[in-house]
Amino acid sequence: MAATSPGNDAELTRLRKRLDRERKVRFAAEAIAETTIRELYEKHQEVVLLRESRSRRTRRPP
């Protein structure tokens, strides 16, 4: 095993903290994206149902 100097230890600690911060930010961004996509899908489903309902009402014979 190679010997580490205090400077290397500090650099390693700094890089680990940076990696942890980046990982947390990525997870937060993924959560936001998933929520937004789910909301968009639900709204799209509502639009589809409303269009189908409207289409059925306009096709009814008098």
Q: What are the boundaries of each domain within the chain?
A: 28-54
Q: Distance (Å, rounded) from C-alpha 16 to C-alpha 52?
A: 54
- Indicate yes or no: pTM above 0.75: no
Q: Determine the pLDDT at residue 3.
A: 63
Q: Distance (Å, rounded) from C-alpha 49 to C-alpha 20?
A: 44
E strand intervals along the chain: none
User: In the structure, what pLDDT confidence band is assigned to residue 44 with cuts at 50, 70 and 90?
Assistant: very high
User: In the structure, what pLDDT confidence band is assigned to residue 30 with cuts at 50, 70 and 90?
Assistant: very high
- Residue 33 CA to chain centroid, in angstroms? 2
User: In the structure, what pLDDT confidence band is assigned to residue 33 with cuts at 50, 70 and 90?
Assistant: very high
Q: Distance (Å, rounded) from C-alpha 52 to C-alpha 44?
A: 12
Q: Is 10 exposed, middle or buried (0-12, 13-18, 19+ CB in 10 A)?
A: exposed
| Mean of pLDDT values over 31-58 | 95
